Amino acid sequence: MKRIGVLTSGGDSPGMNAAIRAVVRKAIFHGLEVYGISYGYAGLINGEIKKMELGSVGDIIHRGGTVLYTARCEEFKTLEGQKKGIEQLKKFGIEGLVVIGGDGSYRGAQKLSEHGFPTIGVPGTIDNDIPGTDFTIGFDTALNTVIDAIDKIRDTATSHERTYVIEVMGRHAGDLALWSGLADGAETIIVPEADYEMSDIIARLKRGQERGKKHSIIIVAEGVGSGFDFGNRIKEEINLETRVTVLGHIQRGGSPSGFDRVLASRLGAKAVDLLLEGKAGVTVGIEKNELVYHDIDEALARKHSIDMEMYKLSQQLSI
Ligand code: ADP
């Protein structure tokens, strides 16, 4: 293999740049040429492809977002779109591809591999919802952004003696809600992976009120529903001054944490190693702090879930 490509696709996440840097530098270290494909699969189809040098990834390790930009591309879900993509890769003499993105992007990578084009998936999403890795690139940074926001909301919640419902991202996964809720001592954490009873939430709020608690923080994962709906239901059932905050896209931005920079560097470099070893159709990940890889098919067939022990702990600590 002489020449490889790299692209970022789907939702961006902090640390994608560190992963791009690792792919480019590790490839050049091993004497390969690297081409950057802008705007994910859309740029692949349109041939938005440029050679990257050591300097093209200088000064980006600390930046959020992705210097290769990202996009969603419906056309790539079709066989015709995938064929166009492979034609472009051939035209540029690219023999292997690293795709940094979420599970949708993995499905694109899976298709390329099925068509015989060696592709490796690197997990980049704040949602931490990709099977085959304990952590995805961007999760830790987003977690710290959420914690910082909740700490600030807590100040005003205490001053005004209010109940706050905070809706956090995570798509169908509750990881960001669970981790931030545990880290912030939230009274209630509502995640898609666990059933909940509104009556329990109300009872807990009442107990807190009777104990003279100054505020309550309720974290709702977006996968469960709207934070505003929760706020309204609480207001209907208990006479508490309730406010709702939807944290939104603030969670996707910002300078990546040390953890995410290191994770992205390790996973990006591992993807290049795997291409050099002749592996294809696999995803890289980290499990128990060891770098691992799995078949994309196998990874996509697994179901992601939160750590239920951690969920139970969060409930025990917020009695
Ligand atoms: P993420 O990678 O963050 O999960 P998306 O689900 O939007 O984001 O997927 C990103 C892109 O991956 C899509 O816009 C599309 O180009 C490609 N993709 C998603 N699903 C498939 C599929 N089944 N086949 C081929 N490409 C796909």
Query: Would the pTM of this model clear 0.75, i.e. be above it?
Result: yes
SS (H, E, C) the chain: CCEEEEEECCCCCCCHHHHHHHHHHHHHHCCCEEEEECCHHHHHHHCCEEEECHHHHCCCCCCCCCCCCCCCCHHHHCHHHHHHHHHHHHHCCCCEEEEEECHHHHHHHHHHHHCCCCEEEEEECCCCCCCCCCCCECHHHHHHHHHHHHHHHHHHHHHHCCEEEEEECCCCCCHHHHHHHHHCCCCEEECCCCCCCHHHHHHHHHHHHHCCCCCEEEEEECCCCCHHHHHHHHHHHCCCCEEEEECHHHHHCCCCCHHHHHHHHHHHHHHHHHHHCCCCCEEEEEECCEEEEEEHHHHHHCCCCCCHHHHHHHHHHCC
The reply to whether 3-138+256-301 and 140-253 are identical in fold is yes
Instruction: Note the pLDDT of residue 161.
Output: 81
Question: For domain 3-138+256-301, which architecture applies?
Answer: 3-Layer(aba) Sandwich (3.40)
Domain boundaries, the chain: 3-138+256-301, 140-253
Q: Is 13 in the pocket of ligand 1 (CB under 6 A)?
A: no
Q: Is 257 in the pocket of ligand 1 (CB under 6 A)?
A: no
Instruction: Note the pLDDT of residue 157.
Output: 86
The rounded Å distance from CA 100 to ligand 1 centre is 11
Q: What is the CATH number of domain 140-253?
A: 3.40.50.460
The rounded Å distance from CA 153 to ligand 1 centre is 35
Mind listing the pLDDT tens digit for each residue in 134-166?
999 999 999 999 999 999 999 988 888 889 999
Please indicate if the annotation marks 237 as binding a ligand: no
Mind listing the pLDDT tens digit for each residue in 188-229?
999 999 999 999 999 988 888 888 887 899 999 999 999 999
Mean pLDDT of the chain: 96
Minimal-distance CA residue to ligand 1 atom 8? 10
| pLDDT > 90 in the chain, percent | 90
What are the 10-residue block averages of pLDDT along the chain, 319 residues in total?
Answer: 97 98 98 98 98 97 98 97 98 98 97 98 98 96 98 90 94 98 95 94 88 89 96 88 95 98 98 98 97 97 94 92
Please indicate if the annotation marks 105 as binding a ligand: yes
What is the set of active-site residues? 127
Instruction: Note the pLDDT of residue 319.
Output: 77
